[in-house]
């Protein structure tokens, strides 16, 4: 297990700047909809938290929960999953839920 610190608004409203998360390497297989810690191949020095959308031949396609911002696979390409986010430990401890529903 490892911790991840959220920086920026890319996963709002699910996560917020300053949230500290626990992620797990291994365990059950990643499924579409899971929150994950990952590395985009186009930015190998940066770890991001995004939502797994679908597995593709060379890795995973990831999305942002914030429809107005946040780099995701549509601009950065395929990502390598480092671990699945299990829960938030600070500043609001608790489980994390599925993607937000956007009403139009």
pTM for this model (two decimals) = 0.86
Distances (CA, A) of 70 to 9, 49, 74: 7, 10, 10
Which of 47, 52, 54, 56 has the alpha carbon at shortest distance from 82?
Answer: 47
Angle at 66 between CA 82 and CA 17, to 5 degrees: 70
Give, for all 104 residues of the chain, the pLDDT tens digit: 999 999 999 898 899 999 999 999 988 899 999 999 999 999 999 999 999 999 999 999 999 999 887 789 988 999 999 999 998 988 877 677 665 544 44
| Residue linked to tokens 């291994």 | 26
């Amino acid at each position: 297990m490892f911790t991840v610190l959220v920086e920026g608004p890319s996963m709002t409203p699910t996560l917020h700047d300053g949230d500290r998360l626990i992620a797990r390497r291994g365990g059950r297989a990643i499924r579409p909809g899971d929150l994950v810690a990952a590395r985009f191949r186009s930015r190998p020095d940066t770890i991001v938290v995004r939502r797994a959308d679908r597995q593709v031949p060379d890795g995973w396609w990831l999305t942002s929960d914030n429809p107005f911002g946040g780099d995701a696979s549509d601009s950065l390409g395929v990502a390598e999953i480092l671990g699945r986010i299990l829960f938030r430990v600070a500043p609001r401890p608790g489980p994390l839920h599925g993607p937000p529903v956007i009403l139009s």
